[in-house]
Amino acid sequence: MNILVGKIGQAINFNIDAINCNIGGKSDVTLTLPVLFRNNPNEKFYLCSRSNFLKLPDNIRKYININENVFDMFDGYNKEWPIYEQPYRYMLQHDIKLDVGIIFHGMSSSTNNINAILKKDGEEYSTLEVLRNYSAPPIYILNRTNIKYVGVANDPKHVIVLAQDLTNLPSIILSQYTDTYDTKHYKHINYEKMIRRSDIEILTTKIKGYYSGIERNVLIGSQLKSVDDIIANKTKKDIYALHKGAPWDRKKAMLDFIGPRDVEIYGKWDDETYEDTRFKGEIPFKQLHEKLQKYKYTLVVPIKEGWVTAKYVEMIMNGVIPFFHPSYDTQRHIKIPDFLRVSSKLEYYERMNYLEENYGFYKELLQQLLDTITLDDVNGVNINNLLMKASYWATEGTYKIITEPLYEDKMVETKQISLF
């Protein structure tokens, strides 16, 4: 099959070392797409998002494109065409028939393509450059081709793409929470003739999103370690790593449980928050993971009440026992001991202290959590099968799942590579 891949609202950086501790956001496509490319030699993948793929050193690009089945649709960039038309024009120029798409959801606004829709007063829209460059290209080619595609959403702000000018909606959304979502979108866009927004019929369509375990893509490329090796490095008690988040007060939810204790908190917050010196800001992906090796416990708080995030499994992978805030995973998708689901600050303190005083139980609990991570999680087999099965389902086909990775060689170490 010819498979369209990309992320709405974000350039794809194939260099994991350059990514800060934004586990559920910037790293999703970086970790996931190479797994698809490498394990499906009979499929062709077409990148419709801007990326640094063409600027990668030869050894890195060869690792990602070992099957020579990855094609950057910005290759041969033509300045005479609007940036958001480049992937679609590439498709026409190379006579490509796309069969299906795997599109990660991200930032957008109600109007992203400015060549088809006018304001109520007849004036043209002036969208932000970031929307024209990163949101509009995937939206434009999805609309023009009307292919079926799988939407992937790991952030409640983007589980439904806000773009009302996305007329081609996903066949299914793989997410971290199960729900039905109302999506507002234009019924049709005529790209051959500008039309006032007030003259376009706006529809509301219900789309089903499913908890899928997609957050476990953060495990790709990790190493399985023994509980004894992990415990040997543990010298500190608790640490916290999360961003401000929206649409609810994640900071308050966390601090209500942490209290005034002197702890380290990593992530991206507003300037006012940094007046509390416990907030340390963002640090690179690898540096965060090195720091986690020393700590024993954390509290995971969702981006939105009820949701699962990648944080719980990221912490387990690094030997950090995650306690679940009462608002985390309210649908109980994650199979963890109820001991780790805490309802109050007092209960959180008491259970951390119990583990501190009962080494045998602490080690047994940590081993139980480590056992939830399998070889097929870290080698990408599970995520590959999830996404490829969904894409074949969208086209009413059947995907023959893989049982082991096609290639065993590991990603080589890289220096920072610029996006463009």
240 bridge partner residues: 265
**Burial, 98: exposed, middle or buried (Cβ in 10 Å; 0-12, 13-18, 19+)?**
buried
Question: What pLDDT was estimated at residue 387?
Answer: 96
Whether 102 and 133 have beta carbons less than 8 Å apart is answered as: no
List the chain domain ranges.
2-216+376-394, 225-372
Closest CA to 216 of 301, 336, 312: 312
Triad 406, 409, 415: Cα angle to 5° = 130
Radius of gyration for the alpha carbons in the chain, expressed in angstroms and rounded: 22
Q: How far is CA 366 from CA 11, 221, 297, in A?
A: 37, 21, 10
Whether 100 and 48 have beta carbons less than 8 Å apart is answered as: no
Count other C-beta atoms under 10 Å from residue 112's C-beta. Answer: 30
Question: What pLDDT was estimated at residue 364?
Answer: 97
Question: What pLDDT was estimated at residue 409?
Answer: 56
273/250 Cα distance (integer angstroms): 12
Please name the helix (run of DSSP H) or strand (run of DSSP E) that holds residue 340, with its range, or none: none
Whether 85 and 140 have beta carbons less than 8 Å apart is answered as: yes
Positive or negative, the Cα torsion across 59, 64, 70, 73?
negative
Q: How far is CA 230 from CA 94, 149, 312, 393, in A?
A: 51, 41, 17, 40
Question: What pLDDT was estimated at residue 402?
Answer: 75
Question: What pLDDT was estimated at residue 415?
Answer: 35
Reduce the secondary structure of 229-252 to three states and give it as a string: HHHCCCCEEECEECCCCCCCCHHH
289/371 Cα distance (integer angstroms): 19
Instruction: Using the CB atoms, write b or e for 218-232: b if 16+ within 10 Å.
Output: bbbebeeeebeebee
Triad 175, 406, 51: Cα angle to 5° = 55
Non-local CB neighbours of 216 within 8 Å, separated by 6+ positions = 310, 313, 377, 382, 383
Question: What pLDDT was estimated at residue 398?
Answer: 82
Q: Which residue has the tokens 């995973």?
A: 329
Q: Output phi, psi for 275, to 5 deg.
A: -65, -25
Q: Which residue has the tokens 């049709």?
A: 188
Question: What pLDDT was estimated at residue 202?
Answer: 86
SS3 at position 94: coil
Question: What pLDDT was estimated at residue 366?
Answer: 97
Whether 243 and 267 have beta carbons less than 8 Å apart is answered as: yes
Q: Which residue has the tokens 């079926």?
A: 148
Show pLDDT as tens, one digit a residue, over the chain (420 residues). Answer: 999 999 999 999 998 665 544 444 557 899 999 999 999 999 999 999 999 999 999 988 999 999 999 999 999 999 899 899 999 999 999 999 999 999 999 988 877 776 666 666 667 666 778 888 999 999 999 999 999 999 999 887 787 777 888 999 999 999 999 999 899 888 888 777 767 767 788 899 999 899 999 999 999 988 899 999 999 999 999 999 988 876 678 999 999 999 999 999 999 998 999 999 999 999 887 888 899 999 999 999 998 899 999 999 999 999 999 999 999 999 999 999 999 999 999 999 999 999 999 999 999 999 999 999 999 999 999 999 999 999 999 998 888 877 778 776 554 433 333 333
**Going by CATH, does the domain composed of 225-372 fall within 3.40.50.150?**
no
Question: What pLDDT was estimated at residue 141?
Answer: 97
Pairing of strands 202-211, 179-186: antiparallel
Question: Residue 363: what residue type?
Answer: K
